[in-house]
Structure 1
């Protein structure tokens, strides 16, 4: 039996075959959406470029050369130089490391927290559900950027403060989504059967409820990536995120905005990078929603 036939078998002989067959069918469904594939390619390409920034960079991103300031794109400087003579191409690569690293850190913090809080609230119900959801409502009542600005203002501006501030404002939608998914499955027959075997509430939530919420959570995280990127870049633009001389896309746009009419490449290149990665995550999220959400099929 070929690998493809093994993956697409209608009668899997093992749990492992069934899991990998479902994953392969999801990949085939995603491949049928060219925009989602394009988004996936762009995301992987930009992540790889950010990871390989020390190799791909042609200059030291922090090296200043005032005699070579505001030079247009050329063979020596592919994307030109900024107001301090620093190579824009190299700074965009290292800025991608910082910006995307902040986004990954935020998602790693908020996705598990929101998933667990929402699942616990949905499964437990009662006063615990009301308390957790009212706290969630308080955070949802404020625009994310405004609330992040308030948190950063209470702390010292910097990368760590920006990550914490964005994380504190990004978890409520995940908690709401996990709660909604939990309410749909907590009275299912298989949950009742597990409860009759004597399983504790914590075990039911961790082993049987949370896995049912992961598909929707993955789609939500992918679609939410663009807003997290824009929030991180917005904090950098306002001077509350990464501080100079660190290369970060929002900070680069802030320092280069006064050259937009004449030396357009200085603010344009990091702006295009933000646009491309945000668009790619949205396209990928739409494709994943069609694959992972049965109601969309």
Structure 2
């Protein structure tokens, strides 16, 4: 172990592999020094594990009804109680992690690449290309995300797939702005000029040099935006525009439980608590990634 530590922390690495491994080790060590970042990583790890093994972790069926056990308070038989149809809330919350994880992953996979490419192209070319792309971006940024998502879902129709598309369409402008700002800082750098003089096309420069340099900032912003994506998805579900019954979506569960909030508080409180915990986990994780991946944060410490 001592030799491995010395190999990873060597100031003069003998190969690219050693340099990359050493950099990854330093990033992981810096990340592990933040208690809140580790707490966030633990919450997200629990979320992923719960989503993967939901059928085995849930004690009951998430959609099975038992009217003889409706609105039971939390007990040893039902740790989070039951809802108005006698369904076990814990089982529904556990299976709801799959829907939540699906939404955040799909939105990130759709919106982040779109925003990254648009921002990199705008920053690299400048001129009228920059003005047109940023004008479109500003139009999207000028409207609240939830309002725009509601408009898109209303046009596309209610459903989980349409909710994902609507949230993704409203999320890309922030990534485009970040990528453009990053590109403007190095588009006239010597290494970009050297690559261009070697005959590289604009497509090659953007795809192989500009976009990779913008990745760290984009990853940080994506992680920080996960909480907002979860809240937007829960808002759509609360209004009946997201995942449709009987899918155990947390926002829809809160919507159905609001009628019983005074007497059977657990029906709406338990999925709301899950939303809060997962959102905080992504916020803590995003803050930790910003501290270890953002060079300006490292310089300020």
TM-score normalised to structure 1 length: 0.98
> Once the two structures are superposed, what CA deviation does each residue of 1:125-150 show, in whole Å capped at 9, x if it has no partner?
11111111100011011000000000
1:281 and 2:282 are equivalent in the alignment: yes
CA distance in 1, matches of 2:72, 2:8: 55
CA drift of 1:2 comes to: 2.1
**Aligned to 2:71, what secondary structure does the other structure show?**
coil
What's the counterpart of residue 58 of structure 1?
Answer: 59
CA distance in 2, matches of 1:146, 1:3: 53
What does 1:40-79 align with in structure 2 at a 5 Å threshold? 40-79=41-80
The alignment yields a C-alpha RMSD, in angstroms, of 0.9
What does 1:9-48 align with in structure 2 at a 5 Å threshold? 9-48=10-49
CA drift of 1:107 comes to: 0.5
What's the counterpart of residue 158 of structure 1?
Answer: 159
CA distance in 2, matches of 1:273, 1:221: 20
> Once the two structures are superposed, what CA deviation does each residue of 1:268-287 show, in whole Å capped at 9, x if it has no partner?
11101100011111111111
CA distance in 2, matches of 1:253, 1:122: 43
What's the counterpart of residue 224 of structure 2?
Answer: 223
CA distance in 1, matches of 2:51, 2:252: 17
What does 1:66-215 align with in structure 2 at a 5 Å threshold? 66-215=67-216
What's the counterpart of residue 293 of structure 1?
Answer: 294
TM-score normalised to structure 2 length: 0.97
CA distance in 2, matches of 1:99, 1:57: 16
CA distance in 2, matches of 1:100, 1:259: 27
CA distance in 2, matches of 1:248, 1:134: 36
CA distance in 2, matches of 1:130, 1:26: 37
Structure 1 runs (4+) greater than 4 angstroms displaced = none
Query: Where does structure 2 lack aligned partners over 5 or more consecutive residues?
Result: none
CA distance in 2, matches of 1:200, 1:7: 36
CA distance in 2, matches of 1:214, 1:3: 29
**Aligned to 1:244, what secondary structure does the other structure show?**
coil
Query: Where does structure 1 lack aligned partners over 5 or more consecutive residues?
Result: none
CA drift of 1:224 comes to: 0.6
CA distance in 1, matches of 2:288, 2:99: 27
**Aligned to 1:82, what secondary structure does the other structure show?**
coil
> Once the two structures are superposed, what CA deviation does each residue of 1:210-242 show, in whole Å capped at 9, x if it has no partner?
111011111100111100100000000011001
CA distance in 2, matches of 1:8, 1:262: 59
